[in-house]
Structure formats: structure tokens, C-alpha cells
Structure 1
Amino acid sequence: MTDEPRTNETIKRTENRFDVSSIRRFSVPIGLFLIVVLLRPLVSHPLVLGYGQIATTMLIWMLFVASFNLLLGYTGILSFGHAIFLGAGAYGVAIGIAKFSAPYAIAAPVAIAVAGVIAYLIARLIVHKGEIYFAMLTLAFAKSVHFIANYNPEDLTGGAQGLSGDTLPAFIQTYRGQMLVNLGGFSVNWYYVVGLVFFVSMLALWQVVRSPFGRSLVAIRENEELARAMGMNTRRYKVWAFTLSGVFAGLAGALIEINDQGATLSLLSVQTSGDAILMTVLGGANYFFGPLAGVFMWLFAEDYLTNFETLYLPLAEFPVVGVELSGVLAYWRFLLGFLFVIAVLVSPREGLWGLTKSVIESAYNWLRSFQ
């Protein structure tokens, strides 16, 4: 009789463990699904940004920065030229539609493939170089590609003006500031199409980093000499990591071409690559969701602080004191840079995601201590 309660309690604990382990097992798909579902309503709220168009841009940039983190966070490779592949995807689609009248279903896969081929060729040439030389060489390639696009060979890239105008596929329609996808008489908001592509692509990227290939990349990041001594062809792994990263970045470029209604020279700029690095480190390169958090914080701060003019205290609905801040918050990069410095000094690879996770775990353990 005395053993029954213990047995039942043991069964309950086992069931709870199963439930927790099941949730943790699917935490990444659940998290990605929640991002797609909740991001647009969140930024559309009047207390946040007040409009939902920026949510689509956030999803595309999250995919782009997550592709870069395959290099920095998982392989330990720093590249200053990741904008090459974003621009290759965008310009490839724009050139295919505007110059060759190709349908998007052909232009986009070709552009993504071109981005992957460029990444593969660059990696084969320079991946065996040391970390500093590799980073500088990617910067040199980025400047070269930017120069070629600006030079406008055979009138393909549009020069400094980029490509715009007749670069949208036929199934895209704009209505009162909203972008719609019209297929066979059925219309859906462009955000949900991007959300679907984002969800599937991020799941694929998640499968890559949790596969034996991804574990090998982590081993290279931690100790490349030891991995090489164990018989691992580290150069081959780096080449394919760089190639896959370029493919996912090219996919982001194919999406941003529609989102921005064209391809601009800024997509190929070194600043775009630099922003990807800062977003990754700000969010936390050690975590799968870290770069996503960095993108959200960066774009939210850019939009919110730039348009912020007057701070009303104690509340906007009951203003007592108004403080003019437009002249100060126009320098939002300085404020975000200050936050970036704090994150790097406290935990260089943890970022905001790691710091938030540590605070939540500490608070949870502190609450449990009172039970």
C-alpha cells in the first residue's frame, strides 16, 4: 500500500519529463512559427511601430543574417563580403525579369544558384587562408563586385540607380500600400508568402546545423587543428559551409528584390555586410535565434528611434511634461552601438539573446528557491 503513491508519483514525473523533453525537441519549429504568426501583429500595434509593412523586411533580414551566422557562429569564419550573395540574389532576379523577361519561377532559382556558385568559387580560392587574410579577402571581393555593379556592364545592373520599375513578377499586385500575391484569382498578403518561405528555409538551416555536418562545423570552430588531426577535411567543410551560406543569402536576396521592388546598389555595399555582422553579434552568435533577435532589435531601433520626436511623461495619454528628443534620437546608431558595446563586453558571443536567457533562468531558479 505504501508503494502505490510513490509509483504514481514516479509515473507523473516521467510523464512531465516526457512533456518537457517533447517541447524542447520541437522548440525551434515552435519558435519559428510563433515569430511568423506574432511578428506582424506586434509591430502593427500603435504602442510599438504602428504599421506592419516592416515585419516583412524583418523576416527577410532574419533569413539573411541567419545565413551569415552559419559562418560566424557555427564555423568561426568572419566574412566582410556576405552582401555579395544578397545582392546576387536580388540583381539576378531583377536582371532576369527586366532584361530577359524571364518569369520569377525561373529567375529566382537561377539567381540563387548563381549566388551559390559565386560563394563556392570564392571559398575554393581563399578558405585555406588564415582568419585575418580570409576576412580581408572577402572585403576585397565585396568591393570588386560593388564596383562591377556600379560600372553597369552591358547596361545590366543599372549603375548607381540600380534596377527598378519593370522588375516585379506578374503575380505581384500592390493595393493601397499593401503587396499582394495573386495566383489563379486567389490573393494572399505578401507577408504570409515571405513567412512561409522564412519558416521552411529556417527549418532547413536548423537541420543543417544539428546534422553531423553542422556538428563538424562546430568542431572546426572550437579547435580546427584538433579536427584536422582527427582526419577531418576542414577545408572541404568550410567550402560547403560558405556555399550553403551563400545559397540562403541568395534566397533572401530573391525575396528582397520583390519587397523593395527592385535591386539597389546598397545591397552590395560593405555597410550591408557590416550590418549583418553587428546584428549577429548583438543578438548572440552562439544561439540559433540570436541573429533573429539582433535583426529585430536593430530594425526596431532604426524605425522607432528615428521617428520618435517628443517624450511625454508620465504617459502620452496624460502628458504633464514633454521632452523634445528628435535631435538626439536621430543618432540611433550611436545608441544602438552603445548597447552593442555593453553586450560585447559582458558576453562577446552570448549577445542579447544569451543575456536575456541568463536573466530568465536566474529569475526562475531564484523563484524555485522559495518553494
Structure 2
Amino acid sequence: AEELLEHVLEEDFILAVEGGVAAIDTFFLTIGAQGESGYEILEKLAAKAKAIFAVGTCSSYGGIQAAYPNPSKTCGISEVLSQKVVNIPGCPPSDINIIATLSFFALFGVLPELDEQNRPVWAYGKCLHDMCERKAKFESGIFAEHFDDEAAKNGACLFKVGCKGPYTYNNCPKVKFNAKTSWPVAAGHGCIACSEKNFWDEFGNYEKPMANIFSYAKLCNEELKQEFFLEEQIKILEQIDFEFESNIKLILQNIAKNKLGALLVENYKKSFEKNYAFIEQNFDENPMPSKDFWKYLEISFILVKGAFLKDKNDFLIAAKNYAFKHASPYDFKLNMNAEKPKLDVSKSFRMTLIYLCGGLDFEGVAYSILKAFEDNIAKISSLKAS
């Protein structure tokens, strides 16, 4: 085997690596009569390879063995190589993602288009959740409470029992596994985000939503420590086209205009009777257009708590106390092609209803909303700077 390996080094070849690398304490893997470490062999092969592919989450990001406290100090191969590495993450990745990526290079002699994590865009460019056959149930607020309940068997969304699909970028629902037989969510278990970096540590309990009550550790994350929404960020919102309806009763009526939205509002009403009653008692039928960022937060607070927001800092504190680093997606629509930037948040209130019905807590909702605003403000600021 070692002779064959030496012979290969004299030929043109591509290098496909499975498994992470222990580059510091290299004795965690030694191979052959010469006792070479996995790291030494990796460096030797990478130096001569025409292209390098990390096949699987372990070689892409370190994988399970890199989970805290990572005693072997394992990492993805791109962290120790100077050469470019194409990541094909997944635990495991689908056969199609592996073969198609390798075949593309073999046929055309160039790498496929890659995203910011050096993953092939064709395979990892879209959110898994958006392709899921259970998404209509998610939009309707219909969630399985247990894996064996009738709702789960009838296609209910698995977010409440831990599905991490909204945070995962992969094409599993399209390419499936085992000759396109099925994939985990169709088979009845939620996505565990296995193709995402640090999935073992950062996504919490695999059969619970990412609510603080289910966290086993508060992540030491600088992003959570920063001050949300400084005065300069508020001024940016004031300078763009930013307006929304702030009468919650009318907001709920607008959400309920289509079939999925009507089911969502009905499920919210059943699950949060006190909150719904508060809205009915305190709001009339008159439109209340608003351009106030803080009013958006107040509406969201009422939907979550069934009470008025007395101190805006309560919302900010809740966001900063969220125990996870991944925000739940909010579908804000930013139009940069208009005369001035336009941020449309009118359809995003339904996301708060969905996440509440799906078991997310106030901290998770607060963090996700502020992160959505922050990301869009950053895009606007970047445009202004350019």
C-alpha cells in the first residue's frame, strides 16, 4: 500500500479526504511501518494533488470528534493546508453530492462554483427547509409533539421535536439517500444540521427546539455580547423606505387571508389563548401604519407575551440572553434596486407565530428578529459605503 502511494505521487491525481486531522497532537493517528501520522501523509499528498476535496463533515470541519472539549484537537483539513479545499460536508454527504462534485472536476478540469465556506453552490446553496415536503405544515403552525403521534405520521413539521432544517444548507430533500429512496425528515426524524460547521455543539438538543430551557450550555459567543441597535443603526432605518402595519388585529387578519395563514392564526389562537384575548381586547379595526423600529419589537413582544412592552431594554436583554448562536430565519424583503432601499417586513410577523407554535421561546424570537434587522442594515450600510 505504501509503495502504491509513493507511485501515485508521481502521477496526476485528485485527493479526496475522509475524516478530520489531528495536526497538533499528531499521534492520534499513525499509519504503516514508518509510523507516519495522518497529518504528515495529508501534507505530502496535498502538496502534489491537482485538487483537494474534503468528503464529509469530519474532513470539512472536524466533525463529531472535534466536539467540545475536543481532546484530540481535531479540525477540518482546510485549517491546516495552504491549498484550496472543496468541502462536501454531511454525516454522511449524499452519494450524488460526492460523485457529481468529483465528476465535475474530472470532466472540466475546474472546480464548481463555491460558497463562502467552499461548498459547491449547486448542492449547498439553498436552505434545506425551503425544499422540505413538510414545510406547508410549518407555515400552518402544525407541529408534531412527539415522534409517534398522529400529527408526525401525517406529515406535521418536526421543528418542535428538534428539526434543524431552517438552519441547514443542503439539498437532502432533492437528492435523498439510498438511490433516492428517502431522507431523514421524510423517514420521520428531524434534520440534525450534520452538514453545518460545529453542528455537534451549536444546535442544542437534537429532539428539542432551540429554546433556552433545552440548552445545556451558554455559548461563549461575541455576537451575543455586542450591543444590538446602536443609534447609528436606527438612523439608517429612518433613512430608507420602511413602513408596516402595526395594528396586530389587522396583522392577524392579513396573515389569515390564505389557507395556510388561516390555519396558522387558528393554531396560534388555540396555543396562546391569553395572548389572543389580549389582542382582541386592546386593538380595534383601524389601520396604524408605522415606521418605528421599536414598534415592530413591541408588536412581536405582544404576540409572545400577551402584554405591552413597557421597557424596550427587556427585548434587547432577552436577545442577548439567548443561549444559541443561530438565528431562526425571518423573511424580511430588502429591495436595493428602488430609488432608495426598501425593507419590507410586513409578511415577517407570521414567523413569530410559527416559531411560538413550534416551541421557540421569547429569547429565541427576540434574538432572531434583531439579527434579521442587523443583517439587513449591514447590507444597506455596505451599499452606501460602495
TM-score when normalising by structure 1: 0.25
